[in-house]
Amino acid sequence: MLREQAGDWVRARILARRAAFVASALGGLGLGSVPARAQSPEPDGAEPPPPADEGAGASAAVAAPEPAAAPAAAAALGCPSAAPASDEVTREAAGHYLRGVELYRQHQWDEAVSAFRRSHELAPSTVALYAIGKLEQARGRSAAARAASEKYLACTAGELDSLRRVDLENELAALRQRTALVLLDPGLIGANVALDGEAVATTPAAEPLFVGGGTHRVAVLMPDGRRIEGEVHFPAGGEIRLTLDLLRAAAVPPQVCLSPPPPPPPEECVRRRGSHLGLGVAPQLAWEARDGGRAYFGGALEAVLNVGLSRSFDLHVGAGAAPSGAEDGLRLPVAGALSVRLTPFERFAVATGFSAGYLLAPEPSRAAAGAFEPASGLFVHPEISPLLVRLGDVELDLRLGAMLSRQQDLGETRFGLSYLTGSVWATYLFLPEHGQCRYEE
């Protein structure tokens, strides 16, 4: 019998030393002193002393149970149990706690709180509760800080000295002024409660629920699949009973999803407004307009100036040459041109105009009288463009025309129709990257 009592006494001393070591580690955090509480009953088997009355300042906190109900209340709050955990669980809990201490020293607050919470889940410890409350308060999470501090006060009520208890009560008084106690309706059985999109409790709740004061979005998912959601105001420093009627009254009506109105159309900007230079090339066919006339193939090159006067009207000024050759020699008209272009559609236009210049041509053959042939001299060349296609900076247009020039036969000279022409032009305009949005009237 004496040997068994001695063994119990030794085990109790070992557990007390472990608790003192954990408390000293927490003191190294700079969070203040924490009473070391043995995790096992005294050798004589006496229960831990019941929590003392918290006084009138704890109206919104956890009510202090009567001494007879202390063991059950402590178990409900997750306080250290009289039955010690297994050695393996104790070692794992201690590892998480020491990990939290190290993370705290590295200023990794979120990870430190998670480590302390995991340690408390494995082996409930008032030391871990104290660390959680202090860290949550430092992070500005008043509701979480109050939950941990209220639990710590309830679990250590009979062990705190008067000065320490006064300090803790003062801290809790400030937290209670910033938070609200939520009482869940007993009728909400098996419901999942979410606050601002984060799950916070499942009814019936095992622990009190604290919420920061203000308006929060509450969603309750009932066991039958119904979802009740609403905006609820939680009074700071007070308490509120969360019932189905309260949620229905605060329910947010479903929002009709309306597509936003289409944006106003952007002001159309015309890149062709103003004057722009360009360069055009074309294959050309010229048919000599007389009996026995021949066809001449050649090309044309033109430097252009495009002047946009309005959205549908612009001038086309050009200067170039169109050499063509045959057996009797080279023909080279050099001219300046002017055309007017009308744009009935965005990408299509029609044009009419003329060119005038000087024609270099071989000497007439003088084969027969009355056979006038084109000779070197001035000419005019009216033409039309029945189809002009605009593809960004490039214009493609078909041009048909007639050349009136100096003609010669023996000793006679006249001015008449010399050639019928056709050409397909590709013109590149050096347009600006962004157009101008208004034409001057």
In a domain? residue 264: no
Mean pLDDT for the stretch of residues 88-105: 90
Could you tell me the CATH number of the domain that includes residue 84? Answer: 1.25.40.10
How open is the CA angle 173-176-180, to the nearest 5 degrees?
A: 170
Q: Are residues 239 and 313 in the same domain?
A: no
400 confidence band (pLDDT: 50, 70, 90): very high
Predicted confidence (pLDDT) per residue in 17-32, tens digit: 444 444 444 444 444 3
In a domain? residue 80: yes
Q: Are residues 200 and 283 in the same domain?
A: no
Q: Are residues 202 and 106 in the same domain?
A: no
Could you tell me the CATH number of the domain that includes residue 297? Answer: 2.40.160.20
Angstrom distance (rounded) from CA 222 to CA 299: 85
Residue 406 has pLDDT above 50, yes or no: yes
In a domain? residue 262: no
Q: Are residues 281 and 372 in the same domain?
A: yes
- Supply 433's token pair: 């990257």
In a domain? residue 116: yes
Q: Are residues 291 and 219 in the same domain?
A: no
pLDDT at 83: 56
Q: Are residues 204 and 101 in the same domain?
A: no
Q: Are residues 375 and 393 in the same domain?
A: yes
In a domain? residue 441: no
DSSP-based three-state secondary structure for 85: coil
Q: Which domain holds residue 208?
A: 183-249
- Lowest-confidence region among 16-20, 197-201, 265-269, 313-317: 16-20
Angle between helix 142-155 and helix 126-138 axes, rounded to 10 deg:
160
250 confidence band (pLDDT: 50, 70, 90): low
pLDDT at 18: 45
In a domain? residue 42: yes
229 confidence band (pLDDT: 50, 70, 90): confident
Number of structural domains in the chain: 3
- 316 CB neighbour count, 10 Å cutoff: 24
Q: Are residues 131 and 35 in the same domain?
A: yes
In a domain? residue 440: no
Q: Are residues 225 and 298 in the same domain?
A: no
Angstrom distance (rounded) from CA 286 to CA 421: 4
Q: Are residues 319 and 367 in the same domain?
A: yes
pTM confidence score:
0.42
**Residues with Cβ within 8 Å of residue 283, at least 6 apart in sequence:** 297, 298, 299, 300, 423, 424
Residue 14 has pLDDT above 90, yes or no: no
Q: Are residues 127 and 53 in the same domain?
A: yes
Q: Checking DSSP bridges between strand 179-184 and strand 239-242, what pairing results, if any?
A: parallel
**Residues with Cβ within 8 Å of residue 396, at least 6 apart in sequence:** 388, 389, 424, 425, 426, 427
Predicted confidence (pLDDT) per residue in 48-63, tens digit: 223 333 332 332 333 3
- Strands of the sheet with 198-202, listed across from one edge: 198-202, 192-195, 214-221, 227-234
Q: Are residues 187 and 168 in the same domain?
A: no
In a domain? residue 255: no
- Domain boundary pick from 209, 233, 249: 249
- Domain boundary pick from 116, 146, 178: 178
